[in-house]
Amino acid sequence: MTMSDSDAACAVAEQGLGIALVSLPFALPYLTSGRLCRVLPDWYVDDGHISLYYAERKLLPGKTRAFIDFVVQEFAEQGLAQRFDALQR
């Protein structure tokens, strides 16, 4: 079965209806709770970088700058870059 919805693919795999190949951020809640397990740890999907998009830097509103700084700080403090690393075992 092929799906374009990673959440649905995880839910289907959780029900025992097959194996799902989805990026780690989608699978992580299922893996950490034990509802799913990695069967081929050397195979992974990398959807690319997590990005924040905003208008030109010159005209960046203070609230937007504060939000960006907050997200960057939280990623660093919580080690989220490593947590979403598909190569991590």
Q: What is the per-residue pLDDT for 65?
A: 86
> Which amino acid is it at 28?
L
Q: What is the per-residue pLDDT for 45?
A: 63
Could you give the 3-state DSSP secondary structure of residue 22?
coil
pLDDT tens-digit profile, the chain (89 residues): 778 888 899 999 999 999 998 888 888 899 999 999 998 877 766 665 667 777 776 778 888 889 989 988 988 888 877 766 666 55
Q: What is the per-residue pLDDT for 62?
A: 86
Q: What is the per-residue pLDDT for 37?
A: 93
Sequence spans of domains, the chain: 1-47, 49-89
User: Could you tell me which of 50, 46, 20 has the C-alpha nearest to residue 35?
Assistant: 20
SS (H, E, C) the chain: CCCCCHHHHHHHHHCCCCCCCCCHHHHHHHHHHCCCCCCCCCCCCCCCCCCCCCCCHHHCCHHHHHHHHHHHHHHHHHCHHHHCCCCCC
Q: What is the per-residue pLDDT for 84?
A: 66
Q: Contact, 44 vs 53, CB < 8 A?
A: no
